[in-house]
Amino acid sequence: MMDYPLSGLKVLDFSRVLSGPFAGRMLSDLGAEVVKVEPPEGDVTRHWGRVIGGVPGYYHQQNAGKRNICLDLRAEGAVQLVCDLVAQADILIENYRPDVMQRLGIGYETLQAINPRLIMLSISGFGHQGAELRRPAYAPVVHAEIGLLHRHAERNAAPYSDLPLSVADTNASLHGLVGILAAVILRERTGLGQHIDIAMVDATTATDDQLQYDLEDSHDTAPLPNAVWDSPLGPVLLSTDFRLLWKLLTSGQGVVDPTTVDMTLAEKIATRKLVAQAFFRELTNGEHFSRVMSEMNIAWGLVRDPVDIRDQTSIHERGSIVQIDDRAGGTRPITQSPYRFSAAKSGVRRPAPHRGEHNQAVLADWLAMGASDVTELLKRGVLQFDAALLDA
């Protein structure tokens, strides 16, 4: 484990669904010991995806590599147990609404007094200050509020609809991860931890590379949108402005411009696009198409069904999808850590845990608790576990 960059760091992950769990998953892939602290009702993502070995697919993807204790924060003695764990922790992740941790008696001020070196990441929809701090938010809400749905519909001349991935969650998670690592470095200089307030609206706005055109009403200065064309390989996206593409087709590929001076600009563009599409359809095979794109130095991508993502050359060669233990005598696919180091390791290390699977192991490792202590906490309802799965 010393080959992993974050080996030795201890993380308590109180978060649910995606924005927090994804950050915890990446910390685990980088070598940190991440303990998911799950409520008795379980993370809602335990209801999403194909269930194999008692673990649903969505939960599996975001929580692989972690250990798990199941803790009822409302039970008498639960807060004290959290405080004891926090005294040993380096990092805590949570994505409750901004007032929840404080109401439970484990807000940052309380935990900082116990462990001044604690780094606490709080992810919420609208941040920990302001009129909307208690407003519930999931990624689609943020996508709507910050204009992504409007832009998506306008550019595609389509009805409003959500994006096909949770951009607001993953942006917040990755910016939260950056904040955590910055705080770890700062702690080496100061000895003090931090409370990091990450709002999904901030993280996604900061990561929106198209927003400046909206802020300055300057979409007319932007390149034309990338277009998808028919080709011998199937539909492909060409990452280029059509104006440049047309110039390259007419100057180097023998395409003749059929437009006339009396045409309107819209008519010229429509006509030229029809000619360009005919040119691509007449290419004899995929190799011919690839050679023409190379001659014009145009980047392109096959519009691929994600079901076939493992067939993509780089995904396959880089091991971006790997097989790990499925807890049922076989293996199942999972996304691999994207970090590739020259002289260090990273990557998913074990399957996702069952609820309360590591109650005894974690409390023994972190707090030197014996089996009788854990049994007493189970009797009092502080700790719980999924007996059907763990006894199987």
Contacts of 100 (CB under 8 A, 6+ apart): none
DSSP string, 164-182: SS-HHHHHHHHHHHHHHHH
Helix (H, G, I), strand (E, B) or coil at 223: coil
CB-CB contact of 196 with 176 (8 Å): yes
CA-closest candidate to residue 279, choices 269, 287, 289? 289
CB count in 10 Å sphere of residue 59: 25
CB atoms within 10 A of CB 242: 18
- Dig out the tokens for 128 from the structure: 């920990």
Whole-number Å distance between alpha carbons of 112 and 104: 15
Query: In 3D, which of 231, 228, 282 has the Cα closest to residue 255?
Result: 282
Q: How far apart are CA 111 and CA 105, in angstroms?
A: 9
Contact criterion met (CB below 8 Å) for 31 and 7:
yes
Of 13, 43, 169, 197, catalytic: 169
Q: What is the DSSP string of 349-378?
A: -SPPPPTTTTHHHHHHHHH---HHHHHHHH
| Residue 169 bears catalytic tag | yes
Alpha carbon of residue 115 to chain centroid: 29
> Distance between CA atoms of 174 and 183, rounded to whole angstroms?
14
Nearest-10 crossing angle of helices 359-367, 78-86: 50
Query: Which residues are designated catalytic?
Result: 169
